[in-house]
Structure 1
């Protein structure tokens, strides 16, 4: 089981009232919400391995070089020129180190790699997996990794942490008309405002799905532009032709990396805390109470 940690703690932050606070008054709603989420996942799914994948770099320079608008709207205003500081709620940022410290003390593997996003870590771990993989994320970008043949699916939170939508190839075809790899091409063509991806102007989700159904993949669509008999309207031909520069670089930006240099780590689900003293100290310092206890109980069973 691979956790898209930032996606999940963002959801926890907005799903748990900020009145949930530590003894000193600091908000710990994201911390407690995430711990409850992980406890529920362990209890319901009993994974053999569990990895909390982290954004060591939420906006890698190599992606921005290819598409400068990539996540540009998320960069905080009034920051020094050239620096990429993500605009996040000011009461969330201080909770991230607490989340990391708790995961480390409990013994849940936490992996982030400089110059890569959590998505890329997830893509690399998924490619290396020798058995089924559950990816837990609220980010649709990772739908591209769904692969029934390898037992790779996404568990997508629909409501809070208790209701998850299992996303497999049948669900993707019913919803979008594509399979896992096809989802990356679909996203590339239609664009994604939340990631600052412009897409191809005039090519929406339905049109992109029809083109992919007709020509198989992005390469097939672009090859068809030179075939006057291909079923592409004049307007679509013009739009795709004008977007060639974008289409040439976008796949590297949209598709998750599969070759991230990962550090050595132990992904095994811990039964008991790695550092019991640190767990006790963190529980007391941050008032983690029932949330941390629920996670420890879930791990023991």
Structure 2
């Protein structure tokens, strides 16, 4: 029996931020001068993904809460440096208006979009990765999603660190080769190493190599913490001191890093359309926002995906 095509799960914020910073505003504007660089770039990325991966199912995940309170309560520094003075996330002024535009185009095309109150897009992707029939391909430039890779279930990460044209198609062996730990230990590894972009301080003096070595030796962060109480566990004195000093942080950081797998999501249709759901609306939006080329490429990709 032929294996079905993977469902393509899209980390929408990751892609539209990348599109925004990758395409100059001057290169993509509406007739009245409004920037649409993020919209155009996002749609072109989707078109290329559909054209090259040939999925028959797709879901675009959204951040309904980019900094969930339950994560902040565990670790107050979580994304704290990205909070705007008036509250909310620091987002470029010319990007914010483009997100609703992206959603309007996706609705006209008929591509499913979903988010959940109190959760980030990562959590939506994680939940879909374990609830949707596999195989699964998650598309993101967020390193935290390496933890979703699961060879047994056929879950892979298409990492866009070098762009959609140069995807890193990652299984567990690829995660091990990149970081020295299996995918199911990535959250522990990230907690040890830290991640300034998310406000995770990590353990002072512990970089990627030391974090991987510790997990390889003790199996997990729980194993590392348990070994701290064993004088014969073999820690270098300086490293033991650093880990002991970070014990309180290490007790909560993995819970912050771990992607939720149990987000309450509505029933949704994952089938990828072969033609726009509302072609007249799509044509209207394309003309209004100067997106004719991008929408045409997306429609052509949909038509060809299952040809």
TM-score (norm 1): 0.96
- Structure 1: runs of 5 or more not aligned: none
1:5 aligns with 2:19: no
* 1:61-80 deviation per Cα after TM superposition (whole angstroms, max 9, x unaligned): 1111111110011112x31x
1:98 aligns with 2:105: no
1:49 aligns with 2:52: no
Hey, what's the Cα distance between the residues in 2 that align with 1:18 and 1:167? 32
Hey, what's the Cα distance between the residues in 2 that align with 1:239 and 1:160? 37
The 3-state SS of whatever aligns with 2:167 is: strand
Task: Give the corresponding residue for 1:126.
Answer: 129
1:35 aligns with 2:43: yes
CA RMSD of aligned residues (A): 1.1
The 3-state SS of whatever aligns with 1:97 is: helix
CA shift for structure 1 position 48:
2.2
CA shift for structure 1 position 231:
2.3
For the 8 Å contact 1:15–1:160, the answer to whether it is kept is no
Hey, what's the Cα distance between the residues in 1 that align with 2:162 and 2:205? 32
- Structure 2: runs of 5 or more not aligned: 1-7
CA shift for structure 1 position 294:
0.4
**Number of equivalent positions:** 296
The 3-state SS of whatever aligns with 1:162 is: helix
Which structure 1 residue ranges, 4+ long, deviate > 4 Å from structure 2? none
For the 8 Å contact 1:146–1:179, the answer to whether it is kept is no
For the 8 Å contact 1:185–1:251, the answer to whether it is kept is yes
Candidates 272, 288, 293, aligned match of 1:290: 293
Hey, what's the Cα distance between the residues in 1 that align with 2:162 and 2:154? 24
Matches within 5 A, 1:1-301: 1-19=8-26, 20-76=28-84, 78-79=85-86, 83=87, 85-301=88-304
CA shift for structure 1 position 215:
0.8
